[in-house]
Structure formats: structure tokens, C-alpha cells
A and B are shown apart, each in its own frame.
Chain A
Amino acid sequence: MSITNDLAPEAGTTLPGFREEITFTTVASAPVATLDYFAVHHDPNIARSQGLPDIILSTIQIMGFVDRVVTDWAGSGAFVKRRRTELRASILPGAVVHGAGVITAVDLSGPHPQVTVDVRLTDGGSTVFCKAEVTAVLTTTTTAAG
């Protein structure tokens, strides 16, 4: 089985992205899925005592959705080297998260292409949950230099 691929990333390309419905189960799975027991992710009473309307999605899960915008497109050989995130708005149960990405830079000087992607998680409208920049190496794609 060959797992190399022939992605030819170009700056300006819009990645496919995704749409995901966030349920109570998604949010409350934080302890089992991320080992994060911080109570605002699973206890509504404590979330409300913190001024939140309800439990909120954990940072570790949000980062996973950010990375997925890149890796859903790039495939299993992509390695996220760097991720910069700004958390703008809480993601609550019932939210629909739209993941979107645009390639802003491609570096072909190494053996494998390195892409930088501008990522947004939004509600599909004007609310930006998270603004991020991800740099990933496409380790199963070979450049001319490789």
C-alpha cells in the first residue's frame, strides 16, 4: 500500500473545510477524550457560576477542530508543526461549527512541502469562535528538493 500523495499546495487555495454540530455529548466528553476535568466543560451549574450560559467546549477539542481543517485535506502524512490560536467566543452545546481554511504560504525548499493555513472556526455567520494559523509539513508528499 502506498500512502504517498501528490498534493500540489498553492497559496490562495481554499480548503474544503467542514460543518460540525456540537452536542452536549461532544462538550461533556472532555474528561474521557482529553483527560481535562476542568468543570466548565462538564458541569452546567459550575459553568453558570462562572458567568457562562452553559458548559463550553474545551481548548484541547477546539485545537483538534482547528487542525482538522488542515489534516482532513492534507491526509494522514501531515504533521502540525505550529498552531497559533486566538479563542474569541465560547462554543456551547447546540452550536454548529464551520471550519474553514485558506493556504497563505507554501515552502518547497525542504524535502516535503510545508504549508501555512489561515484557519477560522465560525458559526457560519459573523461569530468567529477561533482564529488560528497552522503550519504543517506534508511528510508523505515529496518536493523537487526531495
Chain B
Amino acid sequence: MTTTQDRPAPPGIGAELRYGTYEEALTYVGRESAPVEGDVEVNWATIRHYCAAIHDGNPSYWDPEVAQQTWGGLVAPPAMLMSWTIELPWKPGDFTPAPLVMGDVPLPGSSIVNVSNDTTHERPLRVGEKVAARVRIESVSPQKTTRVGTGHFITTLTTFTVEDEVVATQENTLFRFDLAASENTETSTA
């Protein structure tokens, strides 16, 4: 078995990637991280920045009275789920950003792109709550070639908790790949 290659990620991609072979990647299937709590609790300021960015005028997010009557208090848009568990890019002290868990899986590709997502929400998240996520590697596909390049699909199952309560689960598939040699990928996925 080849050992993990020490190839640097492209500068500033925003994720540390571990490099290795498909055979090494397969040994990660079934592994689950410990729950990691986000650095930023569910908060109304970030909710309003989000709603402004996507032009969401839903009174549940803008009007405390409506939020109180409907949900018993201010809540976050369900689509913000992942926001509350993303680690800050810098913190004081001896701080090394934790890699994305899917970036932990050793593979050859230097690019990642999200492909599909299936999220189930048990209840709205309330302002003030701290959300933790634990991630399990569900599968790593054999090498495939798509219009964006050649690589492997990684599927993860993330369980989101507040204290010990499961508030959401999310299956996500991304493509970890090397760019196709020639043209710009005008239509690669988000």
C-alpha cells in the first residue's frame, strides 16, 4: 500500500486536504468523527445577514413578535444548518484549523465540489443554541471521470446535535478530483 503523499493543498482553498490512494481512502469508510461544536452560536445578526443575502423576507426571521407566536422565539432558516458548525478560520493561541472531515479522506484529487445533499430537520434551531456535528464517512466511489475531471465521490452522513438532542441529519456527496487538463469548466457544480 502506498503511503499518504505529502502534497500541499492549493493555497487558501479554505480546506486542508489529505492526499493518498483510493485503497487508503477505503479504510476511512465507516469512520465517524467525535461531535465538534461550532464556534458561533445561532444568532440573530448572522440570520439577518443571511436573509439579506438571499432576499428572504420571511417574518419568522425578521419580526420577533411573529417568531414568538409561531415558534416560541427567534429561529434560524433551516438552510443555515451548516453555518453553525463551520469552524472559524482563525482563533487565538496555538490554533490549527481542523480539516474538513471529507477532506481528511486520503485521495489524489486537489479540488472538491459539492454534488448532492439530503437534509432532514427535526425542529427549528433557536437563537442562542450551540450546534455540534459528527461526521461519518459512508462511502468512497471507485475512480470516475465527469465533465469537470477525474476523481472519487465521497458520501458523508452528518448528525447535528444540540446538547444530546439530534436536531438534523444530512447526507452529502462531493466530488474530489483533479481538473480536466484542457478547458475551463464553465458548468461545474456548486
Residues of B within 8 A of A51 (CB): 111, 148-149, 179-180, 184-185, 188
Q: What band does the interface of chain A fall in when counting residues whose beta carbon is under 8 Å from B?
A: 35 or more
Residues of A within 8 A of B89 (CB): 37
> Which of A64-72, A100-108, A112-120 makes up part of the contact surface?
A64-72
Q: How many A-B contacts are there with CB distance less than 8 Å? A: 167
Main secondary structure of the interface of A (DSSP, over half): mixed
Q: Which residue of B lies closest to A56 (CB)?
A: B190
**B70 pairs with A82, CB closer than 8 A:** no
- Mark A residues whose CB is within 8 Å of B: 1, 3, 18, 20, 26, 29-30, 32-40, 43, 46, 49-53, 56-68, 71-72, 75-77, 79-91, 127, 129-130, 139-140
**A1 pairs with B79, CB closer than 8 A:** no
Residues of B within 8 A of A33 (CB): 46, 49-50, 52-54
**A82 pairs with B120, CB closer than 8 A:** yes
Shortest C-beta distance, B158 to chain A (Å), equals 13
Q: What band does the interface of chain B fall in when counting residues whose beta carbon is under 8 Å from A?
A: 35 or more
Residues of A within 8 A of B15 (CB): 38
Residues of A within 8 A of B55 (CB): 18, 20, 68
**B58 pairs with A130, CB closer than 8 A:** no
Determine if B114 is an interface residue (Cβ-Cβ < 8 Å).
yes
A29 touching B49 in the complex, CB below 8 Å, given contacts A38-B15, A59-B190, A90-B187: yes
**B86 pairs with A76, CB closer than 8 A:** no
Residues of A within 8 A of B180 (CB): 51
Determine if B40 is an interface residue (Cβ-Cβ < 8 Å).
yes
Q: List which B164-185 residues lie within 8 A (CB) of chain A.
A: 179-180, 184-185
Q: Which residue of B lies closest to A49 (CB)?
A: B10
Q: Which of B11, B55, B148 has the most CB of A within 10 A?
A: B55
Residues of B within 8 A of A85 (CB): 116-118
